[in-house]
């Protein structure tokens, strides 16, 4: 145990966000993040005593005498919050602070009321209270994103298709050379000429289960048919469709099947599974929806296996992506490579930290470097 403690490496800096009942820690050197409950956060603070010569001996003694503390140290290594010295050194400074993706919530309104929605779409925003940017303003936002070095712009919300300027914004962003995505609940796609969606490099739709009743329980009655219709429309016009699924207790046993079926039927080659995060409307349903660690672990393994199998064909999996260089970490981009902007141009580290506490400035009035 002593030699393990001696070889622990701590990054220079962690970022910490409070998030419902959790403290979220981000290791700024390898971009790994982890949610800690209050008692785990207290353990983490004791662990930091290992860093100082003056407090190190007491911290070592505490860990040696406390099996829970040692188990916690091992969990922190596995999750990348601390590292073993030999593995970390050649990986430092490779991703820190490089802008990659901007998520732009161009409408805080939504026509759905998904049970888990972190965007708090349980509370409808009347159209008259939502302030949209003018054409000149949204072009300035895009110019600033591009000039600051971001390469991808993703339109999200709420439901981004409720902002009627979204196609014009996407066209301008494409002209500026950005890679442009749309995240949508899919329900309004039928109201548009399908050709218009070719403006986007990809359209990512949210679908939680191949079983209609599971999906509709989470995302609202009728949503399954709307989304399947949207997938069919887009795919039959050769538009690249990605799927996003939120892992909850309701759909945990059918996700692997969903990935395989969508690949088989619609050639969906990119499918991301997000862990349910208990914030916004989701906080109210956390007890019912949130998987425990064991369920999450089992599901991760099954999904990994399913994706690896499909990636032998042409399914995309970051697990064997040759385009990702050896030293590039694949992880949460909050605080490093991603930002979130709301419909008025206010900037936050991520959509999950959308509150006054984390407000970074307004992209139209503040300098991007300062933000
Ligand atoms: C907030 S939505 C905005 C775009 C669009 N309305 C949609 O549903 O795709 C973006 C993504 O976040 C997911 N999401 C919403 N609430 C979540 C939560 N509490 N935890 C994890 N993912 C969540 C949605 O399922 C969706 O895939
Ligand atoms: S997840 Fe998307 S579709 Fe569902 S309520 Fe939230 S913003 Fe609307």
Query: pLDDT at position 92, please?
Result: 37
Instruction: Assess contact for 112 and 162: CB atoms under 8 A.
Output: no
Residue with the larger pLDDT of the pair 354 and 325: 354
The label of the residue with tokens 């301008």 reads 172
Nearest CA to ligand 2 atom 6: 117
Residue 370 or 106, more confident: 106
Mind listing the pLDDT tens digit for each residue in 222-271?
A: 999 999 999 999 999 999 999 999 999 999 999 999 999 999 999 999 99
Ligand 2 atom closest to Cα of residue 121: 5
Tell me phi and psi for residue 36, to 5 degrees. Answer: -120, 135
Query: Which one of the ligands is nearest to 159 CA?
Result: 1
Is residue 218 scored above 90 in pLDDT?
yes
pLDDT of res. 70 = 86
Question: Has residue 121 got a pLDDT over 70?
Answer: no
What pLDDT is attached to residue 90? 36
Say which ligand is closest to the CA of 277.
Answer: 1
- CB of residue 158 inside a 6 A radius of ligand 2: yes
Higher-pLDDT residue of 121 and 252 is 252
pLDDT > 70 in the chain, percent: 89
Tally of CA atoms within 13 A in the half-sphere of 158 that contains its CB: 22
pLDDT digits 0-9 by tens, 296-327: 889 888 998 898 899 888 888 765 554 444 44
* Model pLDDT, residue 5: 82
Secondary structure (3-state) at 236: helix
Tell me the sheet residues that pair with 102. 153, 339
Report the residue among 130, 159, 163 best suited for mutation to probe ligand 2: largest number of ligand atoms under 8 A from its CB: 159
Other Cβ atoms less than 10 A from the Cβ of 225: the count is: 13
Residue nearest to atom 4 of ligand 2 (CA): 114
Average pLDDT (59-70) is 88
Q: For position 154, what pLDDT does the model report? A: 97
Distance of CA 211 to the CA centre of its chain: 24
Tell me the pTM: 0.80
Distances (CA, A) of 138 to 106, 157, 172, 277, 302: 10, 15, 9, 30, 42
Q: 112 CB under 6 A from ligand 2? A: yes
Q: Could you tell me the pLDDT band of residue 130, with boundaries at 50, 70 and 90?
A: low
**How far from the centroid of its chain's Cα atoms is residue 172's Cα?**
25
Q: Is 119 a pocket residue for ligand 2 (Cβ < 6 Å)?
A: yes
How far does residue 351's CA lie from ligand 1's centre (Å)? 10
Atom number, ligand 1, closest to the C-alpha of residue 121: 1
Which is more confidently placed, 7 or 294? Answer: 294
Rounded mean pLDDT, 134-153 = 96
Across the chain, mean pLDDT equals 86
Protein residues with CB under 6 Å of any ligand 1 atom: 110, 116-119, 156-157, 159, 183-185, 206, 244, 246, 274, 276-277, 282
Cα-to-centroid distance, 105 and ligand 2 (Å): 12
Q: Which atom of ligand 2 is nearest to the CA of 183?
A: 2
- Residue 195 is predicted with a pLDDT of 97
Q: What is the pLDDT of residue 313?
A: 85
């Amino acid at each position: 145990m002593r030699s393990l403690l001696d070889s622990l490496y701590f990054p220079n800096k962690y970022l910490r966000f409070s998030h419902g009942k959790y403290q979220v820690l981000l290791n700024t050197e390898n971009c790994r993040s982890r949610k800690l409950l209050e008692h785990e956060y207290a353990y983490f603070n004791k662990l930091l005593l290992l860093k100082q010569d003056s407090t190190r001996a007491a911290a070592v003694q505490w860990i040696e005498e406390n099996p829970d503390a040692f188990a916690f140290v091992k969990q922190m290594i596995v999750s990348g919050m601390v590292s073993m010295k030999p593995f970390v050194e050649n990986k430092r400074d490779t991703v820190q602070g490089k802008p990659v993706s901007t998520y732009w919530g161009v409408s805080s309104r939504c026509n759905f009321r998904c049970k888990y929605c972190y965007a708090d779409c349980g509370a409808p925003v009347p159209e008259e209270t939502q302030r949209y940017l003018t054409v000149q303003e949204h072009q300035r936002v895009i110019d600033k994103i591009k000039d600051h070095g971001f390469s991808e712009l993703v339109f999200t919300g709420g439901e981004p298709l409720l902002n009627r300027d979204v196609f014009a914004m996407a066209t301008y962003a494409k002209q500026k050379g950005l890679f442009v995505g749309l995240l949508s609940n899919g329900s309004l796609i039928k109201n548009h000429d399908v050709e218009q969606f070719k403006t986007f490099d990809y359209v990512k739709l949210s679908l939680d289960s191949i079983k209609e009743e599971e999906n509709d329980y989470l995302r609202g009655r009728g949503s399954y048919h709307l989304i399947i219709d949207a997938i069919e429309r887009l795919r039959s016009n050769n538009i690249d469709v990605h799927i996003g699924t939120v892992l909850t207790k309701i759909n945990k046993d059918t996700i692997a099947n969903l990935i395989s079926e969508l690949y088989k039927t619609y050639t969906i080659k990119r499918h991301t599974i997000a862990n349910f995060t208990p914030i916004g409307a989701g906080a109210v349903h956390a007890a019912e929806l949130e998987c425990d660690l064991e369920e999450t672990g089992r599901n991760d393994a099954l999904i990994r296996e399913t994706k690896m199998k499909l990636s032998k064909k042409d399914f995309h999996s970051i697990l064997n992506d040759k385009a990702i260089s050896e030293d590039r970490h694949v992880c949460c981009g909050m605080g490093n490579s991603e930002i979130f902007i709301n419909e008025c141009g206010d900037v936050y580290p991520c959509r999950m930290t959308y509150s006054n506490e984390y407000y970074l400035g307004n992209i139209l009035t503040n300098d991007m470097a300062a933000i």
